[in-house]
Structure 1
């Protein structure tokens, strides 16, 4: 016997959990506040563990067709001196496969195509969820995959945890030429990253003091090593994306309500995945990975415990994912503080000690 689930949010986590539940035979409704899937964005990193989860969801092969391996990258100073190597080779040796990079639209499309192929999922766009309690009452399971400003989290888990600024603005984009330099360059209070994303193109991102405008951005990096000035000079500023970097704080005490007693006087079984549960700064490049791992773990727990064991499934999901995801979020936030410091001499000395 299977059940009925409603998933709020059609980003990476929402699409992935909808796939997992549908493959298990559940009736799934997917609600998205936007009028279409959000296909803009640059590169996502996929650790081998996330690739394994995508394989279990049936989309690994489709993702690998559009992804590129990420095998060599360094941390540099603005003048180009190498401070350290990123541990990509070590990751590949341990896992037997490299970390991958994929354009966000390609990952979204791979997940959406799999969901279409499965069939039987009701997808509704332009849905701003207002009455979470009523929605939960209509289904056996409510999944909040609605991001950092999650309506599901606010309604069912309280308002104590919410978006918190970190004092930085992120600018991201894609340059239409390949760079032979990959990794991050750390300056005083700012940093710049370069990764492959597909043949002949380079994904880039910059973290700068909060409020920095597109007009001001090139001046902050004009004397940095190649190809950083060229990246900013030869890409169209109107194609750049910008957002204020935030994370979820304080960490949630649970990712689930199992329906035993409810929350705030409401019953129903609820789980959070992705940014709704543990939004983090992008410094470790693990946002998409953790969302995929959450989604697959939740669907797997539901399958293992069955419809009648849903409370046990939710608790199993929480045990598997909460501490792990929150450790990644804490590490990412700590790395942001380390990289963005004004005290560069001590930071750079410490970076030289990092294992490559």
Structure 2
């Protein structure tokens, strides 16, 4: 009998991880991506211990695939440079078994794509809809014939058309009040070993060493949605040029980039949780399922968890395989049941992370001088070991059901 067929809408980190996990479970997989080609530019992505462990369960060593450089310390600073909190990554490795790493997003995408058969990926092919009236989905795309599927994975991003189509009453996205700039620079002469985020008054600036030796920079500011300047490089210098070293020197490097190399996006999260993360044979994951603010660095990490858990729960791809606990009778009805189990396994965890990320962002976005002073004092007064312990539910929270 033919293998079960999964169609994945979207070749982001979550979609590619789902494709790999399903492929290694014996599924035939087709990934449809609206972009005409794989990404070659973009920002960095942090992989926390929970995401690294999830990837390891499907045989992906992210450190080997995309680089293994690790920052020596991580922490929060004030705009004058004073540390509010700081943790050695060695302590994180001792507590969680593995330190976090940060990699260029295109490098991680390329490493994940390389783990799939070449014919799996269809760039320049957007999913326009899913016809599942009969309970057997047919995926419509902008290119080629419709694709029959036993499973559809909606990994189609924060503005997910499939989410809108199947949850029309959901309130959708919520603007969290900030815009963000992101870019990558070369600055080996600055010898920056620390991953840090600096909090000012309604503004933040982050510096993250990447696995390839470059630096991922990001900044946020509280502004109305849609606010744009003629030159993002000049805007960053205006806002952050007087902050502590090495930020001015890093902004000099930013000034040498082309304006298009500085990405700007307003920040949104999901206004409320979805009632469920599946419908029939369709499953939502990543930003399509639970878009969250970037304040915990968990957006991509939770998408990876989603993908691995989803593939673990669905029946094996070989229809003649009678050993799979979720499909011992080889009944195709086991797929919807598995997706219901996926919702049960993932909805509460991902929504808790979404809410927590929003709350952390509100602290970082404070602009009232008294509120900022109280915030900074509270962070400084919190012992580093207690702050690290507060990450246990995130970094130790990944589990495969059953």
Does the pair score TM above 0.5? yes
- Cross-structure match for 1:129: 127
Deviation at 1:243, TM superposition (A): 0.7
**1:105 is matched with which residue?**
106
Superposition map of 1:168-207 within 5 A: 168-177=178-187, 178-207=191-220
Cα RMSD after superposing both structures: 2.0
Comparing 279-288 with 303-312, greater Cα deviation is found at 303-312
TM-score normalised by structure 1 residue count: 0.90
1:50-199 to 2 correspondence within 5 Å? 50-60=51-61, 63=64, 66-86=67-87, 88-116=89-117, 121-133=119-131, 136-137=137-138, 138-177=148-187, 178-199=191-212
> Residues of 1 paired with 2:79 and 2:86: CA distance?
15
How high is the TM-score relative to the length of structure 2?
0.80
Between stretches 282-291 and 64-73, larger displacement belongs to: 64-73
Find the aligned partners of 1:88 and 1:322 in 2 and give their Cα distance: 30
Q: How far does residue 340 in structure 1 lie from its aligned partner after superposition?
A: 0.7
Q: Structure 1 pair 278/61, CA: closer, same or farther in 2 (3 Å)?
A: closer
The answer to whether structure 1 residue 338 and structure 2 residue 351 are counterparts is no
Q: C-alpha separation between the residues in 1 aligned to 2:338 and 2:170? A: 25
Q: Distance in 1 between matches of 2:62 and 2:216?
A: 22
Q: Alpha-carbon deviations, 1:247-304, whole Å to 9, x = none? A: 11111121112x3xxxxxxxxx110011000111111111111111100100011145
- Alignment coverage as a number of residue pairs: 343
Deviates more, 1:152-161 or 1:327-336: 152-161
Equivalent residues in 2 for 1:9-20, closer than 5 Å: 9-20=10-21
Asked whether the equivalents of residues 9 and 33 of structure 1 are also in contact (C-alpha less than 8 Å), the reply is yes
The alpha-carbon deviation at position 35 of structure 1 amounts to 0.8
Shift of 1:181: 4.3
SS at match of 1:254: coil
Partner SS state of residue 182, structure 1: strand
Corresponding residue to 1:300 among 299, 305, 312: 312
Tell which deviates more after alignment, 189-198 or 171-180. 171-180
- Residue 395 of structure 2: aligned partner: none
- Which of structures 1 and 2 has the bigger CA Rg? 2
1:62 deviation in Å?
Answer: 6.1
The residue number in structure 2 matching 1:219 is 238
State the 1:324 CA deviation.
0.9
**Aligned partners of 1:161 and 1:251 also within 8 Å:** no
Q: After TM superposition, give the deviation of residue 202 of structure 1 in Å.
A: 1.5
Any conservation in 1 of the 2:72–2:193 contact (CA below 8 Å)? no
Following the alignment from structure 1 to structure 2, what is the Cα–Cα distance between the partners of residues 62 and 192?
26
- The question of whether the paired residues in 1 share the 8 Å contact of 2:66 and 2:211 is answered with no
Alignment partner of 1:42 is 2:55: no
Q: Structure 2 vs 1, CA of residues 65 and 11 (structure 1 numbering), >3 Å: closer, same or farther?
A: closer
CA distance in 2, matches of 1:280, 1:95: 23
Give the superposition deviation at 1:326: 1.2
Rounded to whole Å, the distance in 2 between the matches of 1:252 and 1:33 is 24
